[in-house]
Structure 1
Amino acid sequence: MNNNDSALHVVGAQIRDQAAAYCESQSVPGVVAGVYHAGEQIVVAHGTANVATGAPMREDTGFLFGSVTKVLTTTLVLQQVDRGLLDLEAPVAHYLPEFALTAPGAAAKILVRHLVSHTNGIDADLFFPDARGRDALKTYVDGLAGSCGALFEAGERLSYSNGGMIVAGRLLEVVTGLPFPDLLARDVFGPVGMTDSSTSAEQAILRSTAVGHFPDPVTMAARPTGMFMLPDTWGPAGGTPIGTVADLLAFGRTHLAGGVSPAGTRVLAPASTALMQQTAYDMATPNVPPMGLGWVRYPFGDTTVLAMSGASPGGVSILCVVPEHDLVFTAFGNTPGAIVLHDQLLQGLLRDLLGVEIPALVTAPASDVDLSPYVGTYRSNQLRIDVSAVDGQLEERMTYEPADESQERIFTAFAGGATSAPPQRYVPVGPGLFAPAGYPWETFDGYLRLLLVSYHDGVDGRARFRNGGGRLARRA
């Protein structure tokens, strides 16, 4: 094809066919996806937004952003840095004197930068206090002091942090005087041109909005979620923002254009936009890409994809920006398994549209690996992982240990009722690196490299940390 419009037309047809086949084979009710490339964009929708009503998935159907919101929250933080209201190198407690953790002195060492680079160490990944309204984020921060500790000292390691983003949201409220939803609407939704975005179910119900689904444990058919969105306490981490593919394409294009929206509005300073895209911390392990501020920097050969995915109750979204090739890709599917389709679509765009060569990340199992350094029990907030050696592989058993009835109720609804899973075997594939048994090696070449598990910081012949999905758990 000689012109980009024709190339994108072909891409749109391919996405439509691929989405239809995947939805049919994997019982995904619906998918909506969009691509912007070099001045043109397409949006493709397929299937059903809600099986209870039969409402179709349309190109303008809204959906929960999930953790894609973290890049929006980080953008808000950098805006306040541009305006002189925040200093990335200042302690969080300078702005939030009440900020504390159960680990003595840990909170005092956390800087603003650590919140948005996932290097804060706050052990609160499953902390779900149930509060709504104007004081929800204050309630969250107040609750940390009596409920959550630290996985590591701030700045020493990287662990994907819902808690850090929520504290950042409260920080924004304090320095601007605005509730987080109002600030997001004023300083991101408005200037970016995200005209169909909101943060409440009351607003979302006024337009076409998708709901999540989970596979029925008996029939495996998709059934609608019993909880549309998480409490307001999780807003800055992704619990409440809702919008469309067109909205996320506009946001991605803003970061492609050095902080200028498609309508020409300056949203973020060029230096701050660039800072978000630079490496802030690198774990130097294949399963955890380097982290910027808000963005995760996925290497696909020599090409870097700035990305963030987001889980919502029964749904999953993704936003990817490829600065080297002037491309934005975003998608939503209304079952958790749709992330596999998103990964396939992303790799197809890189290979077929952009000509990017994607090297194999894992090619063969490792032999004669001593498994004893990894055996033991690892813990993070309300989660225990028991690791044993069985037949030359690691076997992991995860146990959810709820802190109270309220958090158990919320997490159970978020997970679709299933808070336990059968043991998972892992095959050694490199030093301290393991792949889930039974998966084809090519599974891990793209976004799903997060399925790999790594172990770190050996002391006295034993690993101190387990990393799965970018999240650390510490040896008990």
Structure 2
Amino acid sequence: MDNNALHTVEARIREQITAHCESGDVPGFVAGVCHAGEQTIVAHGTANAATGAPMRQDTGFLFGSVTKVLTTMLVLQQVDRGLLDLDTPVVKHLPDFALTVPGAADKILVRHLLSHTNGIDADLFFPVAKGRDALKTYITGLASSCGSMFEPGEQLSYSNGGMIVAGRLLEVITGTPFPELLERDVYTPVGMKDSGTSAEQAILRSTAIGHFPDPATGAARPTGMFMLPDTWGPAGGTPVGTVADLLALGRTHLAGGVSPSGTRVLSTGSTTLMQQVSYDMATPNVPPMGLGWVRYPFGDTTVLAMSGASPGGVAILCVVPEHDLVFAAFGNTPGAIMLQDRLLQQLLRERLGVRIPALITGVQQDVDLTPYAGTYRSDQLRIDVRVVDGQLEEQAAYEPADASQERVFTAFTGGMTAAPPQRYVPIRAGLFAPAGYPPETFDGYLRLLLVSYHDIRDGRARFRNGGGRLTRRA
């Protein structure tokens, strides 16, 4: 990319970010693009509405689930070193790993942790613990609190629990606490010089906090919780860094595991393995899963991506190997994902010339809705689905296991414990779109808003998939 083209990209991103920040949609936003060796970072707005601190190009933020790429890299480093095998049962190295379903944990392989095919039903399990034993505490809690949603390898369901188990597995294999391992084996060799894993580190430099829209006024109010407990570190609870750090990470994956400074971080084989399809649900709302990466198809172009929610904020990292491009961004309200999706599609269309076809090209008439009505559950989540006026109406509610779980969950969501009823219109059998959205909404990252139903048995769907996560018919 020549400098003139880079300036054009920068100007377009600045225009979009400025409009969103000044309209009040998001207090602050920072985004970066690296293409063909040239890099630009743009920031605008406020990093912290409580202090008025500005969002800067080097402002840090919580990575959220972008961390899952890092955790996967750490596991595959141990595979490269011969200390782990992806097809080994996790309990071989982690004998304390158990679930409430007898024998379920014994069937889970290391590979299942990274490909989100493990079936661990722990997506909202938030034990509170700090320090060196945090992940050990999480594993102990699984055995008494969390079950299994499906047989390992049978389905795909986005799994925070799987990544946290992988983090504890790494501690046992290496004898090193996860935060130290992350800093030593990923941050340092990649060149992520401003990244850390604690609020204590974050407070020493410019760091953004999350915000939620005030129910009464709509104005952004600061989060009451900066980060999730240490028990969620490997899934994305604690790592903090900058857009420049994420661009360096993305460039490492473009270069087959070699960092921008020339340091080999991961073998070419393992870097390639992360990018290959490990499981495909064959439904438009759930892109094929690699290891760590989600593979978003935009026509004939694949975008390796991972987004990450934190309390009141959302980060994203996208790598486009076919076009030597990395895009990273953070916005400090949950709705910032809308702007991130728009910027990504803009880059693909305008900068790379990618044709993005419509994901929804037609609507099937007279879809039988009866197989989908019913109650679906996963860890502390209940979704009631009923047929109303030729549509599905869903009512989701959080059902906390105890007061501690409720405190963490409500802080993470800005006080929400139940969503308002949502109507869904049928696209075809088993696939539904939220009512009122134009079809082009779902062409990009926001295809995750679609809902699908799977495994029809005796005229009833066994699973519901929303946002890549399964709930099972009760």
Tell me which interval the TM-score lies in, with the shorter structure as reference length.
Answer: over 0.9
Name the CA distance, whole Å, in 2 between partners of 1:301 and 1:199.
37
Q: After TM superposition, list the pairs within 5 Å mapping 1:245-256 onto structure 2.
A: 245-256=243-254
Does structure 1 residue 455 correspond to structure 2 residue 463?
Answer: no
Name the structure 2 match of 1:355.
353
CA displacement at 1:26 relative to structure 2:
4.5
Name the structure 2 match of 1:226.
224
Question: 1:365·1:427 contact (CA, 8 Å) conserved in 2?
Answer: no
Name the CA distance, whole Å, in 1 between partners of 2:256 and 2:362.
41
Counterpart pick for 1:436 among 434, 437, 441: 434
Does structure 1 residue 474 correspond to structure 2 residue 468?
Answer: no
Name the CA distance, whole Å, in 2 between partners of 1:25 and 1:460.
50
Partner secondary structure for residue 463 of structure 1: strand
Question: 1:88·1:113 contact (CA, 8 Å) conserved in 2?
Answer: yes
Name the structure 1 match of 2:129.
131
Q: After TM superposition, list the pairs within 5 Å mapping 1:10-89 onto structure 2.
A: 10-89=8-87
Name the CA distance, whole Å, in 2 between partners of 1:104 and 1:402.
23
Counterpart pick for 1:262 among 260, 263, 284: 260
Name the structure 2 match of 1:398.
396
Question: 2:25·2:335 contact (CA, 8 Å) conserved in 1?
Answer: no
Partner secondary structure for residue 115 of structure 1: helix
Does structure 1 residue 418 correspond to structure 2 residue 416?
Answer: yes
Counterpart pick for 1:212 among 191, 210, 213: 210
Name the CA distance, whole Å, in 1 between partners of 2:452 and 2:16.
32
* Letter paired with 1:453: V
Partner secondary structure for residue 450 of structure 1: helix
Name the CA distance, whole Å, in 1 between partners of 2:104 and 2:5.
52
Name the CA distance, whole Å, in 2 between partners of 1:366 and 1:210.
45
Counterpart pick for 2:111 among 107, 110, 113: 113
Question: 1:101·1:144 contact (CA, 8 Å) conserved in 2?
Answer: yes
Name the CA distance, whole Å, in 2 between partners of 1:23 and 1:52.
16
Question: 2:190·2:265 contact (CA, 8 Å) conserved in 1?
Answer: yes
Question: 1:215·1:222 contact (CA, 8 Å) conserved in 2?
Answer: yes
Report the TM-score when normalising by structure 2: 0.99
Partner secondary structure for residue 425 of structure 1: strand
* Letter paired with 1:350: L
CA displacement at 1:332 relative to structure 2:
0.1
Name the CA distance, whole Å, in 2 between partners of 1:42 and 1:463.
47
Partner secondary structure for residue 250 of structure 2: helix
Aligned length: 474
CA displacement at 1:366 relative to structure 2:
2.6
Name the CA distance, whole Å, in 2 between partners of 1:121 and 1:203.
34
Q: Note the aligned Cα RMSD (angstroms).
A: 0.7
Partner secondary structure for residue 125 of structure 1: coil
Counterpart pick for 2:304 among 303, 306, 320: 306
CA displacement at 1:346 relative to structure 2:
0.2
Does structure 1 residue 160 correspond to structure 2 residue 142?
Answer: no
- Per-residue displacement from partner, 1:235-266 (whole Å, max 9, x unpaired)? 00000000000000000000000000000000
CA displacement at 1:103 relative to structure 2:
0.9
CA displacement at 1:34 relative to structure 2:
0.2
Unpaired stretches in structure 1, ≥5 consecutive residues: none
Partner secondary structure for residue 460 of structure 2: coil
Question: 1:261·1:267 contact (CA, 8 Å) conserved in 2?
Answer: yes
* Letter paired with 1:459: R
Partner secondary structure for residue 458 of structure 1: strand
Partner secondary structure for residue 172 of structure 2: helix
CA displacement at 1:104 relative to structure 2:
1.3
Q: After TM superposition, list the pairs within 5 Å mapping 1:160-199 onto structure 2.
A: 160-199=158-197
CA displacement at 1:5 relative to structure 2:
1.9
Question: 1:310·1:317 contact (CA, 8 Å) conserved in 2?
Answer: yes
Name the CA distance, whole Å, in 1 between partners of 2:110 and 2:216.
47
CA displacement at 1:23 relative to structure 2:
2.2
* Letter paired with 1:301: G
**62-71 or 19-28: which moved more?**
19-28
* Letter paired with 2:26: V
Question: 1:312·1:414 contact (CA, 8 Å) conserved in 2?
Answer: yes
Unpaired stretches in structure 2, ≥5 consecutive residues: none
Name the structure 1 match of 2:199.
201
- Per-residue displacement from partner, 1:40-98 (whole Å, max 9, x unpaired)? 01000010000111100000000000000000000000001001111100000000001
Q: After TM superposition, list the pairs within 5 Å mapping 1:366-381 onto structure 2.
A: 366-381=364-379
Partner secondary structure for residue 32 of structure 1: strand
Name the CA distance, whole Å, in 2 between partners of 1:325 and 1:365.
33
Name the CA distance, whole Å, in 2 between partners of 1:379 and 1:23.
37
* Runs of 4+ residues over 4 Å off in structure 1: none
CA displacement at 1:35 relative to structure 2:
0.3
Partner secondary structure for residue 410 of structure 1: helix
Name the CA distance, whole Å, in 2 between partners of 1:27 and 1:261.
35
CA displacement at 1:20 relative to structure 2:
1.1
Name the CA distance, whole Å, in 2 between partners of 1:26 and 1:234.
31
CA displacement at 1:381 relative to structure 2:
0.4
CA displacement at 1:364 relative to structure 2:
3.8
Partner secondary structure for residue 374 of structure 1: coil
Name the CA distance, whole Å, in 1 between partners of 2:6 and 2:119.
42
* Letter paired with 2:301: T
Partner secondary structure for residue 169 of structure 1: helix
Question: 2:368·2:429 contact (CA, 8 Å) conserved in 1?
Answer: no
Name the structure 1 match of 2:341.
343
Partner secondary structure for residue 21 of structure 1: helix
